[in-house]
Structure formats: structure tokens, C-alpha cells
Amino acid sequence: MSLLEIENLTRNFGGVTAVANMSFQVNTGEIVAFIGPNGAGKTTLFNLITGLIKPDYGTIKFKNIDITGKVPEKIAALGINRTFQNLQLFNGMTVVENVMVGAHRHGKQGLLQAGFSFPGVAKEERFILAKAMEKLELVGLTDKKDIPVEILPYGQQRLLEIARAMAMEPKMLLLDEPAAGLNQGETDILGDLICKLPKMGMTILLVEHNMDLIMRISHHIVVLDHGSKLFEGNPGEVQNDAKVIAAYLGEEIV
Amino acid sequence: MPLGNELLQYLLTGLTLGGIYALIALGFVTIYTVTGHINFTQGEFVMLGALTSISMIKLGLPMWLAITVAVAIVGIFGAAFERVVIYPARNSSVVTIIIITIGFSVAIRGVALLLWGTQSYPMQPFSSGPPINILGAIMNRQSIWVLLLSIVVVITLFIFFERTVMGKALKACAINRLAASLMGISPQKMSLFCFSLCASIGALAGIFITPITTATYDMGLMLGLKGFVAAVLGGLTNTTGAILGGFLLGILEAMGAGLISSGYKDAISFLILLLVLLNRPEGLLGKPERDRV
């Protein structure tokens, strides 16, 4: 069944159409990659899905609920989370605290209890800490847990952002260029990690320029160009499509 | 009185004043870091806390209950203020919001004048007994209550921000609002909570200082401004700075009043504000301005 349904989605910035009349569906448990040249509308698409910007036209349905134009925190509460092309970590907090903020939704205590019941708060704190540590373990940052995030190496900051997103235990996770700035070794670790996520109940949308990574891990690829869908199919089909090669992958020089 | 004793006396007076300034400054800093707004109604929360608790005592409530009820009422008032006044204007510029809060504080003072009149209301100290003699300097018992309150509030806030998930969410919201909202944290709910929390802290400060200073409808103006000076002194985004700024201001004021003339007490505060703003606008502990999302 389809988890995410996008119909006729359109967004203009001034005279520029960043996303033009786009429609596609994403099935539960898939890893779907979005590729295309810079300015093809990939990040705008992510911003539209997560509610950071509102579409001019079209609908976005998640789990059959219309989420078009809802505020980001409402959409997040329905189970969509994302990472950013340029990292958005909570500087000044430690590694594990960052992940704990991601997991805060699993807390049962409301505002008032948090203010008045210390035993309850302590118990919940332990519960959320355990959840956060579990996610750090998955990305291999357990031993860095008490380090302030801003002194973590760049590649590990990327992994941390994914761990924080996972801590929310979203149904759908949007990764915006997760491999940007990573070396080959780190990219391989990242690829293995992403492959594990569908088994944990997450559907993955991925924007990435690293073609090796995309071809290795994605089930389905949507090719965008100038805000429109140029092609969609599995990795094999995409690699052999003449239009895609012309627009993005480039002709092989003989 | 020998100079040493005299200085100790001013120091103790300064610590009492400083405790109150620190609490008000904490209100400014907490609201500023989480919402980006400078809330000049903070001083009126102090006044409302003091006068409401006095009215509650007059209604026959025991003191502890009167204080609890007054803090709760002002807390609810703070939340209502955020919803009715700040929330509709949340997308306005920083200056617009500042002017709104100043305007609203004038309005609150006006209503307080109608409700309570111009007279000053005394309040029983929390514990009776003669002042305490510390190495020849005299300290009111109520001053000790004030210091205790500021220590308890600071420790409670510290535990809240560092040791609870809710506190971390609030901190996250202050650091990166965009990322926080994508974690499902509603910046609007955090703002509401923050105003209510800071109103309650302000109310507590007002109630605890009243047995020393008495309460009047316009007490919030000066206390609010002093709290703002303390917050700026500490860097406006820095909780530790706000506390230090509060105590530093209190001590400088008491020293100036004692050694020069008590008439210059307020002038000293504002001179300090000017000097800090001109020479070190990021405050004593603050970092230079960073980008806000």
C-alpha cells in the first residue's frame, strides 16, 4: 500500500517554478531516491513534505491523511522526520542530549507532571536516555555520547543527525544528501545503516548525488529535472534510460 | 561603624537586592532565548504577584496558600498574555514586540492602580524575630528568605533544563527552532509555557521582596528595568550571566548607595547599563550575536 501520495504538487518562488505539477507515490518499506541536477527541486520537495514551506497547488497525503500545508511539528508528530543538507544539530548540547531531544515525543509526562513529579521525571529520563543510547549504538557513536556536538568530526555529525531522526521512530525518514562530505569508508557505513532502516519500520526518501550509493541501496528512483518528474523506475531502468543519461548522468565519453 | 563592617553591610544588602534582580533577569533571559522576544512586562508580573498575594491574605487565606494561589494566578495571567498579546504578533519585528510589551505593561499598571490604588501595602515577614548579626553587619530574616528563594529557583531551573526531557526540548527550541519543530516540538507551546513559567518566577520574586519594600502598583517598573539591566549585563542569552548580573548589579547599587549617596542608587544601575551597552553589547558573559533561525 502507498504510504505517501503526492498529487499535482506545485511551488513557485517568484517566477521560478521549483516544483511543477509533480505526482508520485511511495510504498511502505521502500528506499526511494530522488536524483537530478542542482535546482531540480529535490530539497524544495523535502521542504514541502515536512511542512517548512507550503505548496501553491496540489496535495500531499501521508497514511491517507491530508497533510498539505500543516505546520512542521504536526507533520513530525504524524511520523515524518528528516535530516538536512546543511546540518541542523543543537550546538551546545552533547551528542546524547541531541538524540534525546529527538526521542522526547516518546515521553508520557506532560508539562505539569514534568514540573511536579520528580520520580516520574527521573524514570522517564532513564527511558528516553535508553532509547537514545540504542540509536547511538546503531550509528556507532556510543563512545562519543558526552562530547559537545560542535567538536564532533563532520562525518560523525551526519551520522548523529540520522540517529536523532531515528530516535523519533518515524514512519518515514527523509535524508537530504546524507553522504555529502563523507569519505568512502563513512559512506559505506552510511549505506549499510540506511539499508537496515526499512526492517525497523521506516520508509526512506533520499536525496543524494553519490550515484554509487544510490544504485546500491535504493529500490526505486525518481529522476527530477527543472521541478518536474523526468523518469521513475528501479536502478537498472534509470541507468539505461536515454533521457536520464542526457539530463543528469551524462554520456559516457568513448 | 568601621569601614569593614560598613562594606559587609552593603554587601549583604546588595545580595538581597541582587537575588531579586537575578530572578527578574532570569525571566528576561529565558523568554529571550526560547522565543527571541524581549518582554518588558516582566516587572509587572512581579507587581501582580505581590499585590495579588496581599489581596489573598486579606481574604483570610493563610500565607502559604495565598502565595501559592497568587503565583498560580500570575502564571495563568502570563500564559493568557502570551496567547492574547504576543501570539497574534509573533511574526512582527523584534522592535514591534518590545513596544507591545511596554504598552501592555503600562496598561497593566493602570489596571493595578484602579484595583489597588496608590497606597503601599505592607506584608508580614515570613518568619518573625530580630535581625541576624553577621560579623557586625545586620541582616533581615526576610533577606535570608529572598536569598534562599533565588538559590532554590536557580537550582530548580538548572535541574529542569539539564535533567528533564521537557527542559531539553525547551533548550533545543532555543538553540535551533527549525530543527526542534521537525522533532515534533511546537515552538508555540514552548513559548506559552515559557511566559507562564517566567510570570510565576516574577510573581515569587515580588512576593518575597514585599515584606522588605512593601508593594505598590508601580513597583514593577523599576524592578523590571533593573532586571533587564542585570540580564543585559549577563549577556541576555546566558542564564549564569543573568544570575551573576543580578547579584553584581545589586551589590554595586548597594555599595554606591552606601558610599556615595542613596539618591544615586538608580542612576548607578543605568550608568552601568549604558557602559555595558556601549563597550560590551554582548554582555559580560555573552557570546557575540549569533544567527537566529
What are the tens digits of pLDDT across the range A18-55? Answer: 888 889 999 999 999 998 888 788 889 999 999 999 99
- When pLDDT is cut at 50, 70 and 90, the band that residue B288 belongs to is low
Q: Is B101 helix (H, G, I), strand (E, B) or coil?
A: helix
What interface predicted TM-score (ipTM) does this complex get? 0.71
Q: What does the pLDDT read at residue A88?
A: 86
Q: Vertex B288, ends B285 and B291: CA angle to 5°?
A: 130
| pLDDT tens, position by position, B214-234 | 999 999 999 999 999 999 988
- When pLDDT is cut at 50, 70 and 90, the band that residue B263 belongs to is confident
The answer, yes or no, to whether residue B289 has pLDDT greater than 60, is: no
Of A50, A73, A111, the CB nearest to B193: A111
Strand partners, A65: A62
Give the distance, in angstroms, between the CA of residue B2 and the centroid of all CA atoms in the same chain: 34
Task: Give CA–CA dist A33/A174, Å, rounded.
Answer: 10
* CB < 8 Å to A125, chain B: 163-165
Q: What's chain A's average pLDDT?
A: 86
**What would the grid cell of residue B253 be?**
547599587
Task: Give CA–CA dist B201/B104, Å, rounded.
Answer: 19
CB contact at 8 A, B117 and B232: no
**What would the grid cell of residue B3 be?**
569601614
What are the structural domain ranges in chain B? 26-116+142-279
| pLDDT tens, position by position, B74-118 | 999 999 999 999 999 888 888 999 999 999 999 999 999 999 999
Of B168, B178, B193, the CB nearest to A101: B168
The answer, yes or no, to whether residue B293 has pLDDT greater than 50, is: no
The answer, yes or no, to whether residue A111 has pLDDT greater than 60, is: no
Query: Chains A, B: CB contacts under 8 A, how many?
Result: 89
A16-27, strands of its sheet edge to edge? A16-27, A2-13, A57-62, A65-66
SS (H, E, C) B154-212: HHHHHHHHHHCHHHHHHHHHHHCHHHHHHCCCCHHHHHHHHHHHHHHHHHHHHHHHHHH
- When pLDDT is cut at 50, 70 and 90, the band that residue A112 belongs to is very low
- When pLDDT is cut at 50, 70 and 90, the band that residue A252 belongs to is low
CB contact at 8 A, B76 and B58: no
Q: What does the pLDDT read at residue A108?
A: 57
Q: What does the pLDDT read at residue A253?
A: 56
CA-nearest residue to A117 within chain B is B164
The answer, yes or no, to whether residue A114 has pLDDT greater than 70, is: no
Contact A101 B180 (CB under 8 A): yes
Q: What does the pLDDT read at residue B285?
A: 72
| CB-based contact, A251 to chain B, within 8 Å | no
- CB-count exposure of residue B204 (10 Å: 0-12, 13-18, 19+): buried
CB atoms within 10 A of CB B149: 20
CATH number for the region A1-79+170-254 comes to 3.40.50.300
- CB-count exposure of residue A59 (10 Å: 0-12, 13-18, 19+): middle
- When pLDDT is cut at 50, 70 and 90, the band that residue A189 belongs to is confident
The label of the residue with cell 518590545 reads B98
Among the listed residues B180, B179, B197, B167, the one whose alpha carbon sits nearest the alpha carbon of residue A128:
B167
CB contact at 8 A, A115 and A205: no
The answer, yes or no, to whether residue A135 has pLDDT greater than 80, is: yes
Q: What's chain B's average pLDDT?
A: 89
Distance from CA of B166 to the nearest CA of A (A): 7
- CB-count exposure of residue B105 (10 Å: 0-12, 13-18, 19+): buried
Domain with CATH 3.40.50.300 in chain A: 1-79+170-254
Q: What does the pLDDT read at residue B269?
A: 85
- When pLDDT is cut at 50, 70 and 90, the band that residue B292 belongs to is very low
